[in-house]
A and B are shown apart, each in its own frame.
Chain A
Amino acid sequence: MTEFEPVLLANKDKDRSWTIQVYEGSGGYATLRHVLKEKSPEEVRKAVDSARLRGRGGAGFLTALKWSFLPKDHPGPFYMCVNADESEPGTFCNRVQLECDPHQVLEGIILSCYATGVQRAYIYLRYEYHLAFKRLTEAIKEAYDKNFLGRNIRGHDFSLDIYVHRGAGAYICGEETGLLSSLEGRRPYPRSKPPYPTVRGLFGKPTIINNVETLACVRHILERGPEWFRSIGTPPPPDDPQDPGSFGPKIFCLSGHVNRPGVYELPLGIPCGEVIERYGGGVWKGRRVKAVVVGGISTGLLSASELETPLDFSGPIRAGCLGLGTGGVVVLDETFPIVEVMYNGCRFFAHESCGQCTPCREGVPYALEVIERIRRGEGRLVDLDTLSEIGQAIGITPGTTICGLADGAAWVIRTCVSKFREELEDHIRRTNPQGYRRRLPPGTIVLPQGAPAGIVTRKVQTQWTIYPNYQLEMINKPTGN
């Protein structure tokens, strides 16, 4: 792993890198020509299988295995949905790929569709990516002009149409079945699985859903061979037969309190600290790291003592996080309060919950309310237990929701409370030394619930006592924020 050569971002800094001339000039579409002429779809699937490519969108599912779930004796048509609805806070690698090198992604899509017998692909692009949309549409047009898309591609009896479908700013559309519902023109509620989309997906037909980066990798696997792909990254640990290993390059999006935020293509398995120090130029203002979000906010946090964690599919799991996620590394310096991280994360998930499953719809806003109370200096130590209970109870892992996005909220809460409990307790003790309830102004009459309206301050349902003319009183205002 001494000499690592970036491939996914190789064209990024070239002039007009998004045009077909530059792409073909650097060897683009040569793989497609070669594969169409020389290889059968079966061979393409085999190559991806032996490269052990895993999905880059977050779950890390083996791509070839997913493809193999397509029914064999189905009359078709099959669809492919390319997931470019990248809305995870801290993640922007798909945006950079589609803005700087859309043809690379298109070639990967065409190859994958060839391998799986798909004749129509939809790219679900989030609406906020205006420049990516512009360049992608141009790229598709160029590809049609050169007959890399359309009927009988390059004289071969394989046809493919690609359409871009734009979202409308909803995080849930990044969940694969939510994406399908959204594309079909329905309210984007995720669906229960099974049936999996590969059996019954878009418009009721077998559908493959892959991430942009995964498909871009397919192109390079076919160009350089699966052995090359497996020479990068970390092999599976010998004691875990379930782990297929983490191979290949991965784009890491570095942001937050670092000197050089941006995208960096690095081999999987690189230690988190090295990404920050060597590529991100260290923490800004000469400060130290307090916490690092590993792969988008939903994966949870690493503490400063866990910076040696290798960023591959299993490393963050061993460090008590959800997983590698999307590779969005957000660095937080020592002055940034953990309460703010929890508040920010929970606000995001409370806002983006689709509202279909009660644990997520009700649980996350409830957690947010508790965090808000801690944040404004009215926290109680027992709140941390409540939060940790909520964190354990919602999501697909405990089996209480349909989709995995509730887990995102859960892991933020869980990792914050378990890894930074001391800081949170300190915050609560400092801001609310009396501990268990608000300090009442002298002479306050405490009324039972159901008292006449007019003096009710807030939240009659959850508050047992009502304080007339109550002014929020901060004892020892939190500092450093």
Chain B
Amino acid sequence: MTAEVQTADYELLGPELRQEIAKYFPRYPERRAVLLPALHLVQEQLGYIPQQAIAELARFLEIHPAEIADVVSFYSFFRRDRPLGKFRLWVCRSLSCACRGGESLLAYVSQKLGIAPGQTTPDGLFTLEAAECLGACDFAPAIMVNDTLHGPMTFEMVDELLASLRKEAGQSPGV
């Protein structure tokens, strides 16, 4: 690959990750355009996008770190402060979901997990997010867990869902 793949001073962006990012280069005429796919890869691997990763990515993509911070801070999907939980729960509260109980579903999940939207449980298992339309209005009220869509949800189904997710993570489901 290019010269900067070989330089050793990357702490967070390991060679495999850089390799993965470099796979996107031929798709675009400019390196900068790889930024969004690269950020997805970084967040997938690290759980969030720390400042150090931004600096390293900037070197790799040959743009200024400020430009990356500019982009990262725009999208609600990216997190910069601390790693996300193992499961990221998006509870939709847009109109179609709201009129079928999305708001109370969000309140219920929030109560169940003991965290407010935007927070992560202390055990690092769940991150709760209030979503603005998941595009799943036919499944209203909908919840998305990482990349799986669930709906239409009821309170009982939320209990079951949380229990099965806990089980998946190897915790006792009764918590």
Chain A residues within 8 Å of B, Cβ to Cβ: 86-92, 95, 126-131, 163, 165-171, 182-188, 203, 253-257, 261-263, 293, 297, 328, 330, 332-333, 336, 340-341, 344-345, 348, 351-352, 354
In the complex, how many angstroms separate the beta carbon of B34 from the nearest chain A beta carbon?
7
A223 to B130, CA, bound (A): 44
In the complex, how many angstroms separate the beta carbon of B102 from the nearest chain A beta carbon?
9
The answer on a CB contact under 8 Å between B135 and A128 is yes
The answer on a CB contact under 8 Å between A92 and B36 is no
In the complex, how many angstroms separate the beta carbon of B40 from the nearest chain A beta carbon?
7
* Residue in contact with B135 in the complex, picked from A92, A170, A341, A352, CB distance below 8 Å: A92
Can you list 17 A-B contacts with CB-CB less than 8 angstroms, sorted by A residue number?
Answer: A89-B96, A90-B96, A92-B137, A127-B77, A131-B147, A166-B36, A167-B36, A168-B77, A170-B75, A184-B32, A185-B35, A257-B100, A328-B137, A340-B98, A344-B94, A348-B132, A351-B132
Count of chain B residues near A, Cβ 8 A? 43
In the complex, how many angstroms separate the beta carbon of A478 from the nearest chain B beta carbon?
15
In the A-B complex, the 3 residue pairs with the smallest Cβ-Cβ separation, listed nearest first, are: A185-B35, A255-B137, A130-B147
The answer on a CB contact under 8 Å between A129 and B135 is yes
Please judge, given known A-B contacts A168-B36, A168-B39, whether A344 and B135 are in contact too, CB under 8 Å. no
Q: Which residues of B contact A333 (CB under 8 A)?
A: 99
Q: Which residues of A contact B12 (CB under 8 A)?
A: none
A170 to B39, CA, bound (A): 15
The answer on a CB contact under 8 Å between B99 and A91 is no
* Residue in contact with B71 in the complex, picked from A186, A253, A255, A262, CB distance below 8 Å: A186
Q: Which residues of A contact B28 (CB under 8 A)?
A: 203
Contact residues of B between 1 and 56, Cβ < 8 Å to A:
27-30, 32-37, 39-40
A21 to B71, CA, bound (A): 40
In the complex, how many angstroms separate the beta carbon of B124 from the nearest chain A beta carbon?
22
Q: Which residues of A contact B74 (CB under 8 A)?
A: 170, 187-188, 354
Q: Which residues of B contact A293 (CB under 8 A)?
A: 95
Please judge, given known A-B contacts A168-B39, A253-B138, whether A187 and B95 are in contact too, CB under 8 Å. no
The answer on a CB contact under 8 Å between B138 and A263 is yes
Q: Which residues of A contact B172 (CB under 8 A)?
A: none
A344 to B34, CA, bound (A): 34
The answer on a CB contact under 8 Å between A88 and B133 is yes
Please judge, given known A-B contacts A165-B36, A186-B32, A186-B71, whether A89 and B138 are in contact too, CB under 8 Å. no
